[in-house]
Amino acid sequence: MSLKQRIYIFADLDDSLFQTRPKCPAATVLFAAATGRDGQPLSFFTPEQKALLLLLEQGTLIPVTGRNSEALARVHLPFSSYRITSHGALILTAEGALDEEWLAATGGQRARWRDHLETALTRAERAIARNELALRCRLIEDHGLPVYISIKGDEAAIQRLAESLDEIWAEEGAQVHCNGHNLALLPPFANKERAVRFLMERVGADSSQPLFIGLGDSATDLPFLRLCHYALTPRGSQIQVLTW
């Protein structure tokens, strides 16, 4: 059995394997990692991240990302196996189709939370307007399914809004992802840990003594990183700042 059939790397992408230009070190050679909707380079690898990719190529790389499927398709990496998108709300097969077993496992929660996502979006928009915050708020869809609420903008404004989240997003099992200029309100079915555990059980049944490696930068990545045999986090990441 080859290393690729035994080693599985569950990797967050943005701010873990690449980042936007303002977050890159100055005077560093950069390599295009992902494009925006206009086709222009938007995110970049540093030389160190390119070197890390050479190491990760020894195993099977499985993205565990907040990007939806459309945004993931703009990443310049040759994913050849499963893909976890929208913070774990969906799993794609190697062919890019929805994983029907995962879809069925989370279907009940998705149905119950559809209306609540719309309500929470309206309440978040009202809170942003009431407090005159420089933030953009929208409901993210993936394969036509509502998956989570994304809020982006000024970091100080993000923190101000976070203080009022209890009244907007206090439902049982829901999560708040907050890191820098990004905030996401995640329903229970958008859960990286559950999605990673699901795939670990599946690939583990097909592989002799699999090795699981995790990569992430945000505090909300910690639950799925704890499932792995080894975990990596970038220098200066939210995980490093909070725990080291």
pLDDT in tens, 127-159: 899 888 989 999 999 999 999 999 999 989 998
Q: What is the pLDDT of residue 27?
A: 78
All structural domains of the chain with their residue ranges: 7-100+191-243, 105-186
Token duo for residue 42? 């938007």
**pLDDT at residue 204 greater than cutoff 90:** no
Q: What is the pLDDT of residue 215?
A: 98
- CATH number for the region 7-100+191-243 comes to 3.40.50.1000
**pLDDT at residue 1 greater than cutoff 80:** no
- Token pair 């409901």 is found at 139
Least confident stretch, 79-88, 167-176, 235-244: 167-176
Q: What is the pLDDT of residue 163?
A: 81
58-114 residue pLDDT tens: 999 999 999 999 999 999 998 999 999 999 999 999 999 999 999 999 999 999 999
- Token pair 């915050």 is found at 133
Distance set, CA 54 to CA 3, 13, 58, 78 (Å): 14, 15, 7, 12
Taking the C-alpha atoms of residue 45 and residue 120, their distance in angstroms, rounded to an integer, is: 35
